[in-house]
Amino acid sequence: SQKIEQNSEALNIQEGKTATLTCNYTNYSPAYLQWYRQDPGRGPVFLLLIRENEKEKRKERLKVTFDTTLKQSLFHITASQPADSATYLCALEKTSYDKVIFGPGTSLSVIP
């Protein structure tokens, strides 16, 4: 069956450490993968997009990798801060020019 999986458990890390979140998918062939941040009571907010021909993308303290062979994307936050605490969602097109679907999200807590 087709599905997207993210870290099933909430992730708790110490301030200053690197947080790594995982997004795995099966039976899709996305041309793009996106990461969003969602704070409690708010709508998701776009963070980063990575294309299938890109291995890595960076934006300030954020880094995303995309391995189409493993069908996996990793999302890293370096030098994490308590303000990074939120739920992070990965999203992808099932195939090129198809609708975007979202993973279940991973809750991240950065402990001071």
- Residues within the interface to other proteins (CB under 8 A): 31-32, 34, 41-46, 49, 51, 89, 91, 93, 96-105
CB of 96: closest distance to other proteins in angstroms? 7
Identity of the residue, 5 or 109, whose beta carbon is nearer to other proteins in the bound complex: 5
CB of 69: closest distance to other proteins in angstroms? 20
Identity of the residue, 43 or 112, whose beta carbon is nearer to other proteins in the bound complex: 43
Would you call 82 helix, strand, or coil by DSSP? helix
The answer for 52, left when phi > 0, alpha when psi is -120 to 50, beta otherwise, is: alpha
Identity of the residue, 74 or 101, whose beta carbon is nearer to other proteins in the bound complex: 101
Identity of the residue, 77 or 103, whose beta carbon is nearer to other proteins in the bound complex: 103
Listed residue (60, 79, 75, 69) closest to 106, CA to CA: 75
Would you call 44 helix, strand, or coil by DSSP? coil
Asked whether 92 and 100 are in contact (CB, 8 A), the reply is yes
Q: How far apart are CA 10 and CA 99, in angstroms?
A: 27
CB of 57: closest distance to other proteins in angstroms? 11
CB of 14: closest distance to other proteins in angstroms? 27
